[in-house]
Amino acid sequence: MITELEMGKAESELELGLGLSLGGGTASKIVKPGGGGAWGERGRLLTAKDFPSVGSKRAADSASHAGASPPRSSQVVGWPPIGSHRMNSLVNNQATKKEDDGKKQAKDDETKDVTKKVNGKVQVGFIKVNMDGVAIGRKVDLNAHSSYENLAQTLEDMFFRTSPGTIGLTGQFTKPLRLLDGSSEFVLTYEDKEGDWMLVGDVPWRMFITSVKRLRVMKTSEANGLAVRHQDPKERQRNKPV
Amino acid sequence: MDLRLPSKVLEHILSFVDSNEDRNSVSLVCKSWFETERRTRKRVIVRNCYAVTPEAVARRFPEMRSLTLKGKPHFADYNLVPDGWGGYAWPWIEAMAVKCPSLEELRLKRMVVTDECLEKIAASFKDFKVLVLTSCEGFSTDGLAAIAVACSNLRELELRECIVEDLGGDWLSYFPETLTSLVSLDFSCLDSEVKLSDLERLVSRSPNLKSLKLNRAVSLDALGSLLRLAPQLVELGTGSFSDKLDQEAVSKLSQAFSEMKELKSLSGLWDVLPEYIPLLYSVCPGLTSLNLSYATVQMPNLVELLTRCSNLQKLWVMDLIEDKGLEVVASSCKELRELRVFPSGAEGLNDTNVAMTEQGLVSVSEGCPNLESVLYFCVQFTNAAMITIARNRPNLKCFRLCVMEPFAPDHKTQKPLDEGFKAIVERCKDLQRLSVSGLLTDKAFEYIGTHGKKLRMLSIAFAGDSDLMLHHLLSGCESLNKLEIRDCPFGDTALLENAAKLETMRSLWMSSCCVSFGACKLLSQKMPKLNVEVIDEHPLETRPDSSPVERIYIYRTLAGPRLDMPEFVWTIQKNPEIGVSHLAIK
């Protein structure tokens, strides 16, 4: 229990030296909405002088604000205090009023992107792997693998061999997979940064891990269909710079 | 003579005691009552996931069937808590999977939930029934697929305002044909389109479905066919309400709405076109809850709708309703208990440039005798209005006023809004939750400290002059449980003088104030039952004691320092070498 006497001592020890000094504080962040999230540029403690539209008589310090344009209420992080879903909706509404439909779509994506940047969690190196017929996807750390064979082995272990204490995802398959040589029921495909689905294995490993977004263990029969619907993967890779 | 109740008898009696508050009291009577109570509690609520360990909870309540957890502090909703701070659901799910495999219900708020978490739930709890995630993030639609496919007795799946990595609408198609137990489904926060035929089949094989909240991507046309399949719905969240429909489709939709005799709650209504408002007329008289906060229609259309909602108890609307519209609410919705008015623009000025003022709220306070909960965003306010509101409605329990411009004074007298808030806390003796805004001096907080005896949660921004403000609150508000402050120019003295108070509260948040690093260290040293977290982007070890910190989050805990702190969160455990002698405290 802290007594007042101790408090007095503590205070003199701490030498607070804080007042309403405005230039020295590092408190507020002043950012535009949808901008840098919580770690925006360092600002200073905001006072009434920062909001000149309000005729305030606050006796704040006379620290000068020369050069700093006063922030509007929409430029302060977390103000007005409405949740991010609602904030996104507001931004979209205002965008529609000013721009045509095409631009609005871009704005939608922008706000979604920003939302993800501010709140999304992306584990570096881990990407998702799904297998046809299995609802429960997994994640694999590409940085922990050095080659396609490595990766294929991990995936085989993940989806086809159960260890004690984990759920058996498929259970019924007993043959080894051989995902990479086209000899099994399944092929390994991936979605690249442009959103195209390609067969895994044709580009050098290092190039692959920089462009892969996620993986899918696809039934061979479906993969053929895939090549028809989208650009033939082999053709695509021929056109890609090596 | 042994006067003790046999535990079987006590158990039977306790089976009628539902409220956890009562059960907490029961558990304090004596050891045997503690034992009987803990063995029979089915519904456990942990309002701060770091206040206690999952193992301790599982050990104490072995028969737990329902667990509710809250993670991040409330100001996380406004992006004031940096990413990676914490609030992870995984340790809880992992622990319960082992210790409470009969868990049926999980309700999480402001927590980080990953796909692994969802997969673990699907795999571990055989009789899982209810998953409600509010303001959670960290998972994708793949995780939802895992829940859908594996939980064969699923009753409720609700995603409220979550941030979800949306990989497409396939997840819905994973509900098996054998799943017929669905009572509530809410995917309103997702973006992608789900397959309509799968949704229709799901709805038609769910005879117990009472609540359905669609996302924006579900078209108006699709809505019609869904309503025809589920006329028994009590709660409906529509999708987008703006497609162009031909005459036949419109009349079919109107017919579908009129068949919904049980509908009590309506939401969604994104982009609703004025010409479609009449479609809703048939359900209005039965509605007790109406959420128009995403409906961008103007006042005249809103009024047409609201005059027909005579049984409305809860109304959420945008400031497009204007003061005039609220006057109509005051005369038509006499049963109103809760009103929330949200801004339609970030500046508080909507399209028509008609600002929301104090007038609207005054009208509602006059016309609606049961009004007890208010959240009101507006451009200006006056002390006189607050005094009137307080006089009209001493039964207010929750009063959250947000004048959008920080430091805005009474727009008629240019004075601070101290007197207005004084009236509120003086008259409304049962006030439990208060958010203040506008120009406020220390006096306002003296009043709050003096009169706000039942106040449990208080939110403050851009207010006060000195440490006195905090001192008044911490020493005066006896029931204070959660206090959150941002951008107020003080900290140390009041905090240290009232340190003991912090152990009686759930949590204190202060950001962009003037709390020094030294004070944080001192507080941590002296109050071992608190976690004093300094959340600051810049490294603290070399900082002088006098330098202010960006954010502090202080909460009482039985679990000790948490083990999952990121590098920008500092607690004293990270610097155990800080000697007591350095701070010269006995």
- Domain-wise residue ranges, chain A: 126-166+175-219
Q: How far apart are CA B389 and CA B396, in angstroms?
A: 9
Query: Taking CB atoms and an 8 Å limit, are A18 and B514 in contact across chains?
Result: yes
Write out pLDDT tens, residues B461-486. 999 889 999 999 999 999 999 999 99
- A224 C-beta neighbours (distance < 10 Å), count: 12
For residue B14 the two structure tokens come to 């306790």
Distance from CA of B187 to the nearest CA of A (A): 13
pLDDT number for residue A185: 78
**Spatial contact of B89 and B569, defined as CB atoms under 8 Å apart:** no
Query: Taking CB atoms and an 8 Å limit, are B377 and A84 in contact across chains?
Result: no
Task: Spell out which residues of chain B touch residue A85, defining contact as CB-CB under 8 Å.
Answer: 161, 189
Q: How far apart are CA B556 and CA B523, in angstroms?
A: 12
B376 interfaces chain A, CB cutoff of 8 Å: no
pLDDT number for residue A74: 53
- Find all residues with CB under 8 Å of B2, minimum gap 6, and list them: none
End-to-end CA, chain B:
51
Buried b (16+ CB within 10 A) or exposed e, B130-153: bbbbebbbbbbbbbbbbbbbbbee
Write out pLDDT tens, residues B108-130. 999 999 999 999 999 999 999 99
B142 → closest Cβ in A56, A121, A137 = A137
Mean pLDDT across chain B? 93
Q: Are strands B105-109 and B130-134 parallel, antiparallel or unpaired?
A: parallel
**Spatial contact of B269 and B296, defined as CB atoms under 8 Å apart:** no
Write out pLDDT tens, residues B524-581. 999 999 999 999 988 877 888 999 999 999 999 999 999 999 989 999 888 766 544 3
Distance from CA of B165 to the nearest CA of A (A): 8
Task: Spell out which residues of chain A touch residue B163, defining contact as CB-CB under 8 Å.
Answer: 84, 115-116, 119-120
Q: For chain A, how big is the Rg over CA atoms in Å? A: 28
Task: Spell out which residues of chain B touch residue A89, defining contact as CB-CB under 8 Å.
Answer: 294
For residue B452 the two structure tokens come to 């706000």
In this prediction, the residues of chain A whose per-residue pLDDT falls under 70 are 1-75, 93-125, 135, 160-178, 181-182, 224-242
Distance from CA of B295 to the nearest CA of A (A): 10
pLDDT number for residue A149: 83
Query: Taking CB atoms and an 8 Å limit, are A2 and B163 in contact across chains?
Result: no
Distance from CA of A62 to the nearest CA of B (A): 15
Residue B291: enclosing H or E segment and its boundaries?
strand B289-291
Query: Taking CB atoms and an 8 Å limit, are B548 and A73 in contact across chains?
Result: no
Rounded mean pLDDT of B242-271? 94
Task: Spell out which residues of chain B touch residue A15, defining contact as CB-CB under 8 Å.
Answer: 545-546
Distance from CA of B182 to the nearest CA of A (A): 19
Q: What angle do CA B176, B182, B183 make, to 5 degrees?
A: 170
pLDDT number for residue B500: 95
- At residue B183, does pLDDT exceed 70? yes
Task: Spell out which residues of chain A touch residue B540, defining contact as CB-CB under 8 Å.
Answer: none
Distance from CA of A145 to the nearest CA of B (A): 21
- At residue B153, does pLDDT exceed 50? yes
pLDDT number for residue B470: 93
pLDDT number for residue B3: 66
Query: Which of A9, A15, A16 is the best residue to mutate to test the B interface, defined by the most B CB atoms within 10 Å of its own CB?
Result: A16
Hey, what's the torsion of the CAs at B153, B156, B157, B158, to 10 degrees?
-170
Distance from CA of B146 to the nearest CA of A (A): 5
Query: Taking CB atoms and an 8 Å limit, are B462 and A46 in contact across chains?
Result: yes
Query: Taking CB atoms and an 8 Å limit, are B512 and A39 in contact across chains?
Result: no
Query: Taking CB atoms and an 8 Å limit, are B487 and A6 in contact across chains?
Result: no
Query: Taking CB atoms and an 8 Å limit, are B492 and A14 in contact across chains?
Result: yes
- At residue B96, does pLDDT exceed 70? yes
Q: Are strands A197-199 and A186-192 parallel, antiparallel or unpaired?
A: antiparallel
B503 interfaces chain A, CB cutoff of 8 Å: no
Distance from CA of B15 to the nearest CA of A (A): 35
Share of chain B above pLDDT 70, in %: 96
Reported confidence tier of residue B55, pLDDT bands at 50, 70, 90? very high
Instruction: Tell me which residue of B529, B411, B400, B514 sits closest to B455, measured CA to CA.
Output: B400
Instruction: Tell me which residue of A24, A17, A68 sits closest to B545, measured CA to CA.
Output: A17
**Spatial contact of B320 and B299, defined as CB atoms under 8 Å apart:** yes
- At residue B69, does pLDDT exceed 60? yes
Hey, what's the torsion of the CAs at B450, B454, B459, B464, to 10 degrees?
0
Distance from CA of A59 to the nearest CA of B (A): 9
Give me the numbers of helices (H) and strands (E) for chain A, helices first please.
7, 5
A1 → closest Cβ in B138, B407, B500 = B500
A27 → closest Cβ in B344, B439, B550 = B550
Instruction: Tell me which residue of A16, A17, A32, A26 sits closest to A46, measured CA to CA.
Output: A26
pLDDT number for residue A2: 38
Q: Which fold is adopted by the domain A126-166+175-219?
A: Ubiquitin-like (UB roll) (3.10.20)
- At residue B307, does pLDDT exceed 60? yes
**Angle between helix B383-392 and B418-427 (nearest 10):** 10
How many residues in total does chain B contain? Answer: 586
Could you give the ipTM of this predicted complex? 0.86
pLDDT number for residue A142: 83
- At residue B443, does pLDDT exceed 50? yes
Instruction: Tell me which residue of B276, B76, B64 sits closest to A84, measured CA to CA.
Output: B76
SS3 content of chain A, % helix, strand, coil (to 5): 40, 15, 45
- At residue B407, does pLDDT exceed 70? yes
pLDDT number for residue B192: 92
Query: Which of A30, A93, A123 is the best residue to mutate to test the B interface, defined by the most B CB atoms within 10 Å of its own CB?
Result: A93
Residue B444: exposure state from Cβ atoms within 10 A (0-12, 13-18, ≥19):
buried
B294 → closest Cβ in A47, A57, A89 = A89
Task: Spell out which residues of chain B touch residue A91, defining contact as CB-CB under 8 Å.
Answer: 346
pLDDT number for residue B391: 98
Structural domains for chain B = 1-41 (1.20.1280.50), 491-574 (no CATH)
Query: Taking CB atoms and an 8 Å limit, are B82 and A97 in contact across chains?
Result: no
Task: Spell out which residues of chain B touch residue A119, defining contact as CB-CB under 8 Å.
Answer: 83, 137, 163
Write out pLDDT tens, residues B347-402. 655 555 677 899 999 999 999 999 999 999 999 999 999 999 999 999 999 999 99
Query: Taking CB atoms and an 8 Å limit, are A78 and B146 in contact across chains?
Result: no
